[in-house]
Amino acid sequence: MTLTRKGQATRERILEAATALIAQNGVAGTSTEDVRKAAGISGSQLYHYFDSKQALIRAVITRQAEAPLIPGQPLMGALDSFDALRAWADAAIESQEHNNGRGDCTLATLAGELNPADEQTREDLCNAFQRWQALLHDGLKAMRERGDLHATADLDELALALLTALQGGTLLSQTLRTTQPMRAAMNAALAYIQTFAT
C-alpha cells in the first residue's frame, strides 16, 4: 500500500498510540478500539491501515525493530570499541533506572506475549532480533578487524551474548523494578567479550 504523506502521518500516529498502550497494558490488555480512541480516528480509518489486531501488532514489532536498541536513547553510533560497548551498557542500565519497570514497549515484552501458534508474528520478531544482532555483529567485526579481538572470536556468539543480556536484563529489571538485573547481565556480557581481547 502506497501512502500519501498525510496517510503516512496517520499511520505513524496509530502506531505511536498502539506502542504506548501496549507499554501500559500489554498486548492482551490493548484492544483496537483503545488504539482507535487514543489516535483520535474513526474505526474505518483504522481498518484502512490495519485490518486486524494482528496486523497492527506486527507493524508495532517492525517499528520497534527500527527503533534504537535501547528505548529512550538516541540512535547510537557504531558499537565498535570496548568504550562504545560500555557506554551502550550504561545507557541500557540508565534506561531501566528512569523507566522504573513501566512504560516500555520492548521486543522482550512482545516476545513474551507471543502466542506460540502465531507463526507470522514470530517471524516478525525473529527479523527484529536479527536486525539488532546484525548491528551488534557489525561493531564486533570492526573490533576484530582492528585487532582488538582475537581472530578466533565467534562474533555471532558474542553478538547474541549482548542481545540476550539486553533482553534478560530488561525482563527482570521490569519485573523486579531495579536496575540490578540489567547491570549484572551487561557486566557479564562485556566480561565475556573482554576474554577475547588481544
Residue ranges in contact with a second copy by CB under 8 A: 23-29, 101-103, 108-117, 122, 125-126, 129-130, 156-158, 160-161, 163-169, 171-172, 174-176, 180-185, 187-189, 191-192, 195
In the complex, the smallest distance separating the C-beta of residue 38 from a second copy, rounded to whole angstroms, is: 16
Helices within 26-81 (DSSP H only): 32-39, 43-49, 53-66
Nearer to a second copy by Cβ, of 1 and 117: the residue is 117
Nearer to a second copy by Cβ, of 41 and 111: the residue is 111
Whole-angstrom CA distances from 116 to 3, 34, 39, 70, 97 are 32, 25, 29, 26, 31
CA distance 133 to 142: 14
Nearer to a second copy by Cβ, of 43 and 112: the residue is 112
Whole-angstrom CA distances from 131 to 74, 113, 141, 179 are 17, 20, 15, 25
In the complex, the smallest distance separating the C-beta of residue 64 from a second copy, rounded to whole angstroms, is: 13
In the complex, the smallest distance separating the C-beta of residue 101 from a second copy, rounded to whole angstroms, is: 8
Nearer to a second copy by Cβ, of 74 and 116: the residue is 116
Q: Can you say how many angstroms the Cα of residue 14 is from the centroid of all Cα atoms in its chain?
A: 19
C-alpha cell recorded at residue 73: 536513547
C-alpha cell recorded at residue 27: 498486548
Are 55 and 110 contacting, i.e. CB atoms less than 8 angstroms apart? no
Instruction: Return the residue matching grid coordinates 527484529.
Output: 128
In the complex, the smallest distance separating the C-beta of residue 36 from a second copy, rounded to whole angstroms, is: 20
In the complex, the smallest distance separating the C-beta of residue 95 from a second copy, rounded to whole angstroms, is: 15
Nearer to a second copy by Cβ, of 10 and 174: the residue is 174
